[in-house]
Structure 1
Amino acid sequence: MKQPAIQKPEGLKDVLLHACCAPCSSAIVEWMMANGVRPVIYYFNPNIWPREEYEIRKQESKRHAESLGLTWVDGDYDHEEWLHGVCGLENEPERGRRCERCFTLRLIAAAKKAQELGIPYFTTTLASSRWKNLDQINRAGEIAQESVKAESNLSPLFWAQNWRKGGLYERRNQLLKEYKFYNQQYCGCEFSTRDKSTEIKEK
């Protein structure tokens, strides 16, 4: 029997969804709600630069969650701390080691927030973008899961899922127009802006 494109962990009803932006969240949230999963949206993206860009993306994420009656949680914005976290990797290309470090930092924060809120699973909209390396995201999620597990027995599990499948990438583009979302033109950090015009081979 062919496996479904989206595989929900057995018994899952609540999940913390780390959201990078509203467009990437939209189709994922729609699928979750249609399949008995109620996400808590966690917006934690200290990589985004400049601050004005961060605020625009944040408000769009909040608008989307509130339109659906979902809980939306604002993570801290400390770009200087994020820069410290990726120090030495500034010259890495997109999809390089800097990106994986960035994913790891953000997903550790997501795992900790899920633990704090008593939510058994966490996942991320980062895995919906064709410009991201899915293997890097999954490694980051596993590291985040183990990092929190080392601190407590009450450890949320990482829901590794390719959110491009099942027609969700196409649905994302439809919802982007329906909601009239702001659609950013680069990943987020100042280093990603220099590569935004470079053609990246889809993984």
Structure 2
Amino acid sequence: MKNKIQYQLNLPTHKNHLLLHSCCAPCSGEIIQRLIDSKIKFSIFFYNPNIHPLEEYEIRKKENKKFADKNNISFIDADYDTDNWFEQTKGMEWEPERGKRCTACFEMRFFKTAQYAHQHHFDIFSSTLGISRWKNMEQINQAGEWAAEKMPNLEYWTINWRKNNGSQRMLTISKDENFYKQEYCGCVYSLRDTNIWRQKNSREKVTIGKKFYTNSIKKSTQN
């Protein structure tokens, strides 16, 4: 892997085994590499029933698992229980991005992550969601800490993944790996709102499974 980090991460004191909730390959690529370079023991937990439609979900999961397998990192494929997600977000269909619906979504996904962590002897967990500048980091951290409090002896790692060029390296690795480039956050309401904005701004509607990151060496042949 190119662009090795120039510094080391360390888990909080007395914590040894990290469960990393991952939302997609682009957000997780830099974090995975940083954890590997820092010699931190971790596994990836893919639980994202918010992603819609199923075709989009399968593409994102496949990309994430492929990168994990390439780096010999354990990848835990959790349930795609969309009925539960819709029930948890019922009545919030028109909440804005970063609003109450997103909080409910984060809490649901993190609670499931915390449950798995507790049941399988992880003592700390975190999420790749925080590296995205489209997300409210405080909102994500609060949801993570809320979930951790539900399980004994479990902590949520509130690390700022964006620091030390994390966001820039995220883009670099996404281009190097030619990851799938999703065009909206993930849920059906995000897809709806993105298309509404695009229509108002004379932009084409979102396409599923068509766009990939590219660089000068590795051009996408999948468009």
TM-score, scaled to structure 2: 0.81
Root mean square deviation, CA, Å: 1.9
1:113 aligns with one of 105, 109, 116:
116
Partner of 1:171: 169
Q: Distance in 1 between matches of 2:8 and 2:91?
A: 38
Give the superposition deviation at 1:5: 10
Structure 2 unpaired stretches of 5+:
1-6, 199-223
Higher radius of gyration, 1 or 2: 2
Counterpart mapping for 1:50-199 below 5 A = 50-149=53-152, 155-196=153-194
Amino acid at match of 1:105: M
Q: Could you say what secondary structure the match of 1:140 adopts?
A: helix
User: 2: distance between equivalents of 1:39 and 1:163?
Assistant: 16
C-alpha contact (below 8 Å) 1:5/1:165 kept by paired residues: no
CA contact (8 A) 1:94 1:195 kept: no
Instruction: Tell me, in whole angstroms, the C-alpha distance in 1 between the residues paired with 2:156 and 2:95.
Output: 26
SS of residue matched to 2:13:
coil
Q: Distance in 2 between matches of 1:99 and 1:7?
A: 29
| Structure 1 residue corresponding to 2:40, chosen from 2, 24, 37 | 37
**Alpha carbons of structure 1 residues 180 and 192: separation in structure 2 relative to 1, 3 Å:** same
1:137-182: CA deviation from partner (whole Å, max 9, x where unpaired): 0110111011223xxxxx3210011211111110010110111111
- Report if aligned partners of 2:19, 2:122 keep a CA contact under 8 Å in 1: yes
Q: Which moved more, 1:32-41 or 1:181-190?
A: 32-41
Structure 1: tracts of 5 or more residues without a match: 150-154
Runs of at least 4 residues off by over 4 Å:
4-7
Q: Separation in 1 of the partners of 2:193 and 2:161?
A: 24
Pair 72,91 (structure 1): closer, same or farther in 2 beyond 3 Å: same
2: CA distance, partners of 1:39 / 1:180: 24
1 or 2 for the larger relative contact order (CA 8 Å, sep ≥6)? Answer: 1
- For residues 77-130 of structure 1, the C-alpha deviation after alignment (integer angstroms, 9 at most, x for no partner) is 011110001111111000111001100100001111111110111000010110
State which drifts further: 98-107 or 187-196. Answer: 187-196
Cα pair 1:7 1:161 within 8 Å, conserved: no
SS in structure 1 opposite 2:122?
Answer: coil
Aligned pairs, number? 191
Whole-angstrom distance in 2 between the partners of 1:82 and 1:96: 16
